[in-house]
Amino acid sequence: MKIEQFEDKGLAHFSYAILSECAREIVLIDPARDPQPYYNYAKANDATIVSVIETHPHADFVSSHLEIAQTTSATIRVSKLLGADYAHEAFDEGQEFTVGKLTFRALNTPGHSPDSISIVLSREGKDEAVFTGDTLFIGDVGRPDLREKAGNMTAKREELARQMYHSLRDKLMPLVGTVLVYPAHGAGSLCGKALSGANSSTIADEKFGNPMLRELSEEEFVKELLADQPFVPKYFGYDVALNKAGAPSYKPSLLQVNRLASGTALEAGTIIIDTRPEAEFKKGHVNGAINIQQGGKFETWLGSIVGPEEQFYLIAADEATREDLIQKTAKIGYEALIKGALVGTPAIEVTMPKLDVEQFRQHPEQYTIVDIRSATEHRNEPIFAGALSVPLPELRERASEIHTDKPVVVHCAGGYRSAAGSSIVADTLPGTEVLDLGEAVKSFQSASAAH
């Protein structure tokens, strides 16, 4: 038996291939949008993919389960509660199947979603591992607030939080302590709030070190779980529906994206996402463009700022970056929303001024300061007294709340988000001087900590 873990760092997503060496057969769990790495793994091991299991209809990425099943004839297994639109076999508590000497057993573990399952892997009668999806993470548990308006079954967050309490204590914690825990996400995922940087654990280690598994009453657990959950990106409900239906095949969908020649006139009124470095963007860009820089979390911020009902242009610094960005966009199922993708700067009609940081440091009262970090960051780690808190995912809708009687300074925690935020504010408040504090915010954080 081999358990291969695949990691998508941008989405902090883990997927798995479990190989039966005697049968040369593979079971996949929660595969990502691009199926090629799994095909490569199967080929390298001279094995056949025979089943794909989805622990639930994911909100934060699009899965390739349907494409893999159509390509390899593998059987898709999901909970019957999911109401999947594609051909599948129901896989719920009391059901199991074998591959070689391996047995896969389903546990219904609602909490993150009503249709969540965990999969226990046994070899010759001994439980070896459990794949917990978004139910149990390393150091945390899944958030219960994503299915109030999405999916085949909806449920209120408190109801799901109570189900999570019992899924953990009645289904997962009773497993033998040596059982390995393989979650669907690691640190940086928005599907929980305090995930560890580790990529696996054991039931015993989680019972010892996971704060959500310590001795708590149901009421205490629910209260703690519901507090301070991160924001919900605009694309999450869209991806739940796409995963329930089954996504279109990856490469053909990428090829359908309209690559435009440099200098192509862009249709007025369509969102423009300019992914070039912020320094280049500030020197000149198309009027109204939003600067979401190419980077490790590009797809998350794209899907947090742009809704699934909106089309957009994608501008990249060069051709290789354009292709990489289209692939990242496809990870959240947004490639069909790209009206056109092009390289370079189609215009330099708008520039953004550079902030005199020392002037700002001496006289912060002469500026309207906007903190676009999360409300929790703003509350727990204040940097500027009196700063207006408008988290980046809400900025397009709330920028008009910003007072314009002074120059506006936008900041986040490290400079990436403020590049996007300042571009949104500048477009929303024409005639107002909008400045990006950028990475200089770190010097103010140090001063704050020192005092």
Burial of 248 (0-12, 13-18, 19+ CB in 10 A): middle
Residue 241 lies in a domain: no
Q: Using an 8 Å Cβ cutoff, are 105 and 83 in contact?
A: no
Residue 242 lies in a domain: no
Q: Which residue, 193, 216, 236, sits at the end of a domain? A: 236
Residue 201 lies in a domain: yes
pLDDT value for 83: 95
Residues 121 and 215 in one domain: yes
Q: Which residue, 308, 343, 378, sits at the end of a domain? A: 343
* 423 torsion bin: left (phi>0), alpha (psi -120 to 50), beta (else): alpha
pLDDT value for 197: 85
Residues 57 and 149 in one domain: yes
Residues 223 and 278 in one domain: no
Compute the distance between CA of residue 295 and CA of residue 317 in angstroms, rounded to an integer.
Answer: 12
Compute the distance between CA of residue 27 and CA of residue 104 in angstroms, rounded to an integer.
Answer: 9
Residue 348 lies in a domain: no
Looking at the predicted structure, is the pLDDT value of residue 382 above 90? Answer: yes
- Of 104-113, 224-233, 351-360, 432-441, minimum mean pLDDT range: 224-233
Question: How many domains, in total, are found in the chain?
Answer: 3
Residue 220 lies in a domain: yes
Q: Using an 8 Å Cβ cutoff, are 398 and 413 in contact?
A: no
**Bridge partners, residue 340, by sequence:** 313
Average pLDDT for 393-411:
95
Return the CATH number at 296.
Answer: 3.40.250.10
Residues 228 and 313 in one domain: no
Q: What's the pLDDT tens digit per position in 126-158?
A: 999 999 999 999 999 999 988 877 777 777 899
Q: Which residue, 278, 308, 343, sits at the end of a domain? A: 343
Residues 91 and 232 in one domain: yes
Q: What's the pLDDT tens digit per position in 29-74?
A: 999 999 999 999 999 999 999 999 999 999 999 999 999 999 999 9
Residues 169 and 44 in one domain: yes
Higher pLDDT, 107 or 194: 107
Compute the distance between CA of residue 181 and CA of residue 9 in angstroms, rounded to an integer.
Answer: 19
pLDDT value for 448: 47
Looking at the predicted structure, is the pLDDT value of residue 253 above 60? Answer: yes
Average pLDDT for 374-387:
92
Residues 299 and 372 in one domain: no
Residue 180 vs residues 174, 200, 274: alpha-carbon distances, Å: 13, 7, 43
Looking at the predicted structure, is the pLDDT value of residue 436 above 90? Answer: yes
- Residue 450: pLDDT band by 50, 70, 90 thresholds? very low
Backbone angles phi, psi at 268, to 5 degrees: -65, 145
Question: Which domain does 396 fall in, by range?
Answer: 357-446
Return the CATH number at 187.
Answer: 3.60.15.10
Residue 350 lies in a domain: no
- The strand order across the sheet containing 126-133 reads 96-99, 102-108, 117-123, 126-133, 180-183, 201-202
Residues 306 and 362 in one domain: no
Rounded to a whole number of angstroms, the distance between the first and last alpha carbons of the chain is: 55
- Residue 446: pLDDT band by 50, 70, 90 thresholds? low
Residues 400 and 315 in one domain: no
Residue 169 lies in a domain: yes
Strands (DSSP E) along 89-166, which ranges? 89-90, 96-99, 102-108, 117-123, 126-133, 136-137, 140-141
Residues 324 and 378 in one domain: no
Compute the distance between CA of residue 165 and CA of residue 171 in angstroms, rounded to an integer.
Answer: 10
Residues 49 and 107 in one domain: yes
With a CB cutoff of 8 Å and minimum separation 6, the contacts of 162 are 218, 222
Looking at the predicted structure, is the pLDDT value of residue 451 above 80? Answer: no
Which residue is listed with tokens 């909970």? Answer: 79
Q: Determine how many CB atoms are found less than 10 A away from the CB of residue 366.
A: 11
Nearest CA among 107, 110, 101, 109 for reference residue 120:
107
Residue 243 lies in a domain: no
The tally of CA atoms less than 13 A away on the side-chain side of residue 299 is: 28
Residues 159 and 88 in one domain: yes
pLDDT value for 346: 65
